[in-house]
A and B are shown apart, each in its own frame.
Chain A
Amino acid sequence: MTVFHAELAGVARTYPGVAGHPAVHALGPVDLGLVRGEFFSVVGPSGCGKSTLLEVLAGLSPASTGTIVFEGAPVAGAVPDGIGVVFQEDASFPWLSVWDNVAFGLRRAGIEPGETERRVREAIAFMGLKDFAHAYPAQLSGGMRQRVCIARTLVLRPRLILLDEPFGALDAQTRLLMGDELLRLWRETGATVLLITHALDEAAMLSDRVGAMSARPGRFIDIVETGWPRERDSRIVAQSGFGKITGRLWTSLREESLKALGHAHGAAAG
């Protein structure tokens, strides 16, 4: 029997109705097991519950039903130690320099100053921010600010990194390059990574496995194993197998995307 690093079993999430609005069944039920050290991406139509899946797995949002287990312990009510989350929105602290942003979690945790400095320097260099260590977020581009947030998560050495569309606001070329950095980060830290993305090419390029979700309430309708070697980068998009993977993902997702847009009847025509 496989022992998963993190596992969701029969997990569903329903948001209760507010002010006369009906309850929203956003997710599931979903079953998913993440193998230690793998790179798993989740793709699906807008509003299908991808971010909800991430929040439930992180312990940021309670599951309505089902169980979540991380490193053998149930996840309930709080983010467990060892999980790091990078959000889609700019979550850098504008009142702190890049250095202080990255050092934030370490200082809080009471890590010895010498060790803090060493880890922060390492993370800043790793994310290519060495020349901007004393700059403030407002002096950086969107991509650089996102790298600050990744570095802030990275210094705490999480064993499971959850990324919620971290490159959503970036242009296509920058996203490919950021993807390279993410792969390097994944390889060198040995962490398990779960990436939420709306970009099929990004998911196909970065992942060992890609889970395609249905329209809301999101369920996995296909899980594609890419078969890429661990040593890979964005040049993989030129390989012939790449098109097959994105093609299969799109085949799974097309009808779901149409459903999400309210055009389910036209789906069969394609």
Chain B
Amino acid sequence: MGRLAWIRLGVIAGFIGLLEILCRGGAIGRLTMIPPSEMAAALVELIASGAVDDDIGRTLGSVAAAFTLAVVFGFVGGVALHAIPRLRRAADPLLATYYAVPFFVMIIATLNGLDRIPRVLDKVARTHRMRPLETALRLKLPAAAPYLFTGVKLAIAYSFIGVIASEFILAASGLGYQIAYAYNNFDNRTMYALMLFVLTLVTTINMALYVWERRLQRRRLGR
């Protein structure tokens, strides 16, 4: 682990330690926040009891569905808009308005990637007598890959936000619903335990994607 990673870890540990002291010392009331160590203990108890297994399954299932639909249809939509400039001009206000919806995030990332493909690659494809589909798969897709990857990362984050936020107000199950229910019933132990679960899960997924992206980019950027 590098020096920067240690510093980052130190800052996080320091922040958690400070919260622990402030909560234990009474500077932050229990109705506002419970100590982080208690959140962790509550989370372990909750997972071990199996009480939220169905909710976790439902939320992760919805996130997976939202993410898959966003990536597949967002990519196809991006390619279509790139191919038909008139349609793109018409859709521009929509893209600007709904930029935080995973599907639109992926469309924007795809358009960014396709816009930045060096034009010389088209000429190279023609000198190799490549057909349009082969050009797309063997040259354009790899050339646009870094932008598409950014879209995939954002689509995951926005899928979690979208699913959990809608469960807060529209669902009768799921992690979002359970968090809102606990909040309304002053059950801070359950609420913070579930929030910690979501935070840990999303951070882990993001870190894994970050490591994967860095590995892919290292060679490409000559690092």
A78 to B127, CA, bound (A): 8
Closest Cβ of chain A: how far from B222's Cβ, in Å? 3
Picked from B120, B129, B220, the residue with its CB within 8 Å of the CB of A87 is B120
Closest Cβ of chain B: how far from A174's Cβ, in Å? 19
Closest Cβ of chain B: how far from A147's Cβ, in Å? 16
Given contacts A136-B219, A136-B220, A138-B220, are A91 and B129 in contact (CB under 8 A)? Answer: no
Contacting pair A84 B127 (CB below 8 A): yes
Given contacts A91-B121, A95-B145, are A138 and B221 in contact (CB under 8 A)? Answer: yes
Given contacts A94-B220, A95-B220, A136-B222, are A87 and B124 in contact (CB under 8 A)? Answer: yes
A85 to B127, CA, bound (A): 7
Closest to A137 in B: B222
Residues of A within 8 A of B145 (CB): 95
Residues of B within 8 A of A95 (CB): 142-143, 145, 220
Residues of A within 8 A of B222 (CB): 136-139
Given contacts A91-B118, A93-B143, 17 further A-B contacts (CB under 8 A): A58-B127, A79-B129, A81-B129, A83-B127, A85-B123, A87-B123, A90-B120, A94-B143, A94-B220, A95-B142, A95-B143, A95-B145, A108-B128, A108-B130, A108-B138, A138-B221, A139-B222
14 A-B pairs with C-beta separation under 8 A: A58-B127, A60-B127, A81-B129, A84-B127, A91-B118, A91-B121, A93-B142, A94-B220, A95-B142, A104-B128, A108-B134, A136-B219, A136-B222, A138-B221
Is B126 an interface position by the 8 A CB rule?
Answer: yes
7 A-B pairs with least C-beta separation: A138-B222, A139-B222, A89-B120, A95-B142, A136-B219, A85-B127, A91-B120
Interface residues on B, range: 20 to 34
Is A128 an interface position by the 8 A CB rule?
Answer: no
Indicate with 1 or 0, residue by residue over B84-97, a CB within 8 angstroms of chain A CB atoms. Answer: 00000000000000
Is B202 an interface position by the 8 A CB rule?
Answer: no
CB-CB contacts below 8 Å: B201-223 with A: 219-222
Contacting pair A79 B118 (CB below 8 A): no
Is B139 an interface position by the 8 A CB rule?
Answer: yes
A108 to B219, CA, bound (A): 23
Contacting pair A60 B123 (CB below 8 A): yes
A35 to B180, CA, bound (A): 81
Residues of B within 8 A of A78 (CB): 126, 129
Residues of A within 8 A of B123 (CB): 55, 60, 85, 87, 91
Closest to A134 in B: B219
Indicate with 1 or 0, residue by residue over B126-148, a CB within 8 angstroms of chain A CB atoms. Answer: 11111000100011001101000
Is A37 an interface position by the 8 A CB rule?
Answer: no
A81 to B127, CA, bound (A): 9
Contacting pair B139 A93 (CB below 8 A): yes
Closest to B141 in A: A95
Residues of B within 8 A of A153 (CB): 127
Residues of B within 8 A of A33 (CB): none
Is A10 an interface position by the 8 A CB rule?
Answer: no
A113 to B73, CA, bound (A): 38
Closest to A97 in B: B219
Is A168 an interface position by the 8 A CB rule?
Answer: no
Is A105 an interface position by the 8 A CB rule?
Answer: yes
A105 to B120, CA, bound (A): 16
A136 to B215, CA, bound (A): 14
Closest Cβ of chain B: how far from A93's Cβ, in Å? 7
CB-CB contacts below 8 Å: B129-187 with A: 129-130, 134, 138-139, 142-143, 145
A83 to B123, CA, bound (A): 13
Contacting pair B124 A91 (CB below 8 A): yes
A38 to B118, CA, bound (A): 32
Indicate with 1 or 0, residue by residue over A91-106, a CB within 8 angstroms of chain B CB atoms. Answer: 1011101000000110
Closest Cβ of chain B: how far from A123's Cβ, in Å? 15
